[in-house]
């Protein structure tokens, strides 16, 4: 492919379209999600920055506030429903791991308060070709062991993820990378196999977090254990780790950015919801991200607590196996869609902390691409919608090949009672139509084993999904053919036109082009209904009223504790 003229490209001013004639790019294939419990939760544009050095410690999260802005904090304890078994970056494809690691490790870029990319360890980013990115590394950045960051550390961190023998869960984020090499003491050059509009997000994702080369070489397979704690450049240094139980972090005095107001942070694992609420009541903990939605109103009554809510990207949806009866019948799928009382469930199961999903990609995903959520909502309003209407549901079923009903079994995870409640609502509403929905409650591991097993045996599947990056391509890829065998296409839906649209947007470096193609994909899938978007969940945090923090939709990918201050 012919190269573009060398240029520094601003994050908010994407380069011209480089064309879509290169090899098909299958950017990332999701394997599975680890347990996140009540956690909440982008590519747009080629978000490559040519920016001067920044001393920012990271983005200010967006959302509503718990507490008010203020001063320094000496000690703080957060209660976590789940903490990682180890802190090895190779096994960080979940929510608990980046919640910890994003405080101690940093990437070349990070997300700002609008979920757009901004430089962090990179001083500037220079795109010399549609497939070549040159990162100038910020000078005089110190690791927690006192050594100085170089391009060799960044290159080795990337190569560490790319080595097949390491068995990383995050290597798929580097599928499009041909090479990542230090081309100077403070210069990293990344060459891609083909243009990839999604690549710019990897350096801001957990997959792109940088560690000391010396540390990784020394620790090897023991990296991330209690004896070999991660060595990064972040605003906090991990000083103590007990697997699945606790983590202690202290403010890093040699941090290259703005000094956080919080000095010492303790993370305590408290799996039981009632115990976590009691700990908040008696001030054993000062905050948590793990507030059960159904108990939100009870948590609001805790005298010393403030609840912060933010617009979310987490989606609850239903996937239909369109290759197997009865779900290969569009009228059956429509009947189910019209039989779930989404608005009522948001009130009863989310305590109002959510909204009806009118499209498969939450509108906020488009914000980093320069499209307002209200504009996306207008697009979705032009697509077919499936409001709760039992008369319409009955009519659709009568038009199907199963006019007198059918029987199906739906597995769901016990860790997500709100999903069970939604299925019970559907079960009750469709029973008079002759539809027998049998519910099978499983552990999350058991549920994931089914979803990641033989896809031909799936029927109707339920999913709550948390984003990897704030971009509409993250979810829209779930309806592509390539994700049937090794991804997250639980519907076995295959549409050559959708595949082409998705491949074209993945290869495009033009934001308007990507938006247009993604919008068309979402219109087609809303019509064909291989997946039924149900609701979007708000991001939630509980915090002692003495402190201030504003939650972001992707807080777990940001150095969230740097935003905490005294009220």
Q: Write the CB contacts of 223 (distance below 8 Å, at least 6 apart in sequence).
A: 88, 89, 90, 211, 215, 216, 230
- At 377-417, the pLDDT tens digits run 999 999 999 999 999 999 999 999 999 999 999 999 998 89
Q: Are residues 180 and 328 in the same domain?
A: no
8 A C-beta contact, residue 509 and residue 82 = no
We report the CATH number of the domain holding residue 25 as 3.90.76.10
- Please give the Cα distance from 236 to 253 (Å, whole number): 9
- Please give the Cα distance from 251 to 271 (Å, whole number): 26
Q: Decide if 24 is inside a domain.
A: yes
pTM of the model: 0.84
We report the CATH number of the domain holding residue 436 as 3.10.105.10
Q: Are residues 322 and 426 in the same domain?
A: yes
Q: Which residue has the higher pLDDT, 75 or 18?
A: 75
Q: Decide if 143 is inside a domain.
A: yes
Q: Decide if 529 is inside a domain.
A: yes
Q: Are residues 355 and 478 in the same domain?
A: yes
Q: Which residue has the higher pLDDT, 103 or 11?
A: 103
Q: Are residues 209 and 315 in the same domain?
A: no
Q: Are residues 203 and 325 in the same domain?
A: no
Q: Decide if 266 is inside a domain.
A: no
Q: Decide if 145 is inside a domain.
A: yes
Of 182, 200, 220, the last residue of a domain is 220
Q: Decide if 44 is inside a domain.
A: yes
Which domain, by its residues, includes 477?
311-538
8 A C-beta contact, residue 269 and residue 245 = yes
Of 220, 243, 269, the last residue of a domain is 220
Task: Name the domain count of the chain.
Answer: 2
Model confidence at 195, pLDDT cuts 50, 70, 90, reads confident
Q: Are residues 499 and 377 in the same domain?
A: yes
Q: Write the CB contacts of 25 (distance below 8 Å, at least 6 apart in sequence).
A: 176, 193, 194, 195, 196, 198, 503, 506, 507
Q: Decide if 296 is inside a domain.
A: no
Of 194, 220, 246, the last residue of a domain is 220
Q: Are residues 333 and 200 in the same domain?
A: no
Q: Are residues 216 and 315 in the same domain?
A: no
State the average pLDDT over residues 86-106: 93
Distance of CA 518 to the CA centre of its chain: 18
Quote the mean pLDDT of the chain.
Answer: 87
Q: Which residue has the higher pLDDT, 69 or 493?
A: 493
Q: Are residues 360 and 463 in the same domain?
A: yes
* Best-predicted range by mean pLDDT (13-22, 26-35, 257-266, 478-487): 257-266
Q: Decide if 490 is inside a domain.
A: yes
């Amino acid at each position: 492919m012919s190269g573009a003229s060398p240029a520094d490209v601003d994050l908010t001013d994407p380069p011209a379209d480089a064309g879509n004639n290169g090899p098909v790019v299958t950017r990332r294939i999701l394997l599975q999600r680890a347990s996140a419990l009540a956690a909440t939760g982008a590519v747009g544009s080629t978000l490559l920055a040519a920016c001067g050095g920044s001393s920012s410690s990271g983005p200010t999260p967006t959302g509503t506030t718990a507490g008010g802005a203020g001063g320094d904090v000496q000690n703080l304890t957060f209660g976590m429903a789940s903490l990682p078994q180890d802190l090895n970056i190779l096994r960080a494809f979940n929510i608990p791991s980046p919640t910890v690691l994003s405080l101690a490790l940093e990437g070349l870029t990070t997300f700002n308060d609008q979920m757009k990319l901004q430089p962090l360890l990179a001083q500037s980013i220079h795109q010399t070709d549609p497939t070549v990115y040159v990162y100038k590394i910020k000078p005089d950045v110190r690791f927690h062991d006192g050594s100085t960051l170089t391009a060799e550390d960044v290159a080795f961190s990337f190569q560490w993820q790319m080595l097949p023998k390491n068995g990383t869960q995050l290597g798929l984020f580097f599928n499009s990378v041909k090479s990542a090499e230090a081309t100077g003491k403070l210069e990293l050059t990344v060459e891609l196999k083909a243009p990839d509009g999604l690549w710019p997000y990897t350096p801001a994702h957990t997959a792109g977090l940088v560690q000391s080369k010396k540390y990784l070489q020394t620790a090897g397979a023991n990296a991330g254990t209690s004896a070999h704690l991660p060595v990064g450049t972040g605003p906090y240094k991990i000083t103590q780790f007990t697997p699945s139980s606790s983590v202690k972090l202290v403010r890093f005095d040699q941090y290259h950015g703005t000094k956080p107001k919080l000095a010492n942070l303790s993370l305590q694992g408290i799996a039981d919801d009632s115990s976590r609420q009691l700990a908040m009541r008696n001030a054993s903990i000062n905050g948590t991200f793990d507030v059960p939605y159904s108990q939100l109103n009870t948590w609001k009554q805790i005298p010393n607590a403030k609840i912060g809510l933010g617009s979310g990207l987490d989606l609850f949806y239903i996937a239909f196996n369109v290759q197997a009866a009865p779900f290969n019948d569009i009228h059956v799928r429509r009947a189910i869609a019209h039989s779930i009382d989404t608005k009522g469930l948001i009130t009863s199961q989310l305590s109002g902390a959510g909204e009806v999903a009118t499209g498969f990609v939450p509108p906020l995903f488009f914000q980093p691409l320069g499209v307002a959520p209200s504009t996306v909502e207008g697009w979705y309003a032009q697509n077919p919608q499936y409001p709760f209407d039992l008369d319409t549901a009955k009519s659709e079923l009568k038009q199907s090949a199963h006019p007198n009903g059918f029987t199906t079994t739906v597995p769901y995870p016990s860790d997500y009672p709100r999903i069970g409640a939604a299925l019970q609502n559907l079960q009750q509403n469709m029973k008079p139509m002759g539809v027998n929905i049998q519910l099978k409650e499983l552990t999350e591991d058991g549920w994931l084993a089914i979803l990641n097993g033989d896809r031909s045996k799936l029927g109707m599947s339920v999913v709550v999904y948390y984003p990897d990056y704030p971009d509409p391509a993250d979810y829209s890829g779930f309806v592509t053919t390539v994700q049937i065998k090794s991804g997250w296409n639980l519907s076995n839906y295959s549409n050559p036109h959708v595949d082409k649209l998705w491949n074209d947007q993945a290869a495009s470096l033009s934001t308007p082009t990507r938006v247009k193609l993604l919008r068309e994909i979402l219109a087609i899938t809303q019509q064909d209904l291989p997946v039924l978007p149900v609701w979007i969940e708000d991001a939630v945090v509980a915090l002692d009223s003495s402190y201030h923090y504003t939650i972001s939709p992707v807080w777990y990918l940001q150095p969230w504790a740097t935003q905490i201050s005294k009220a």
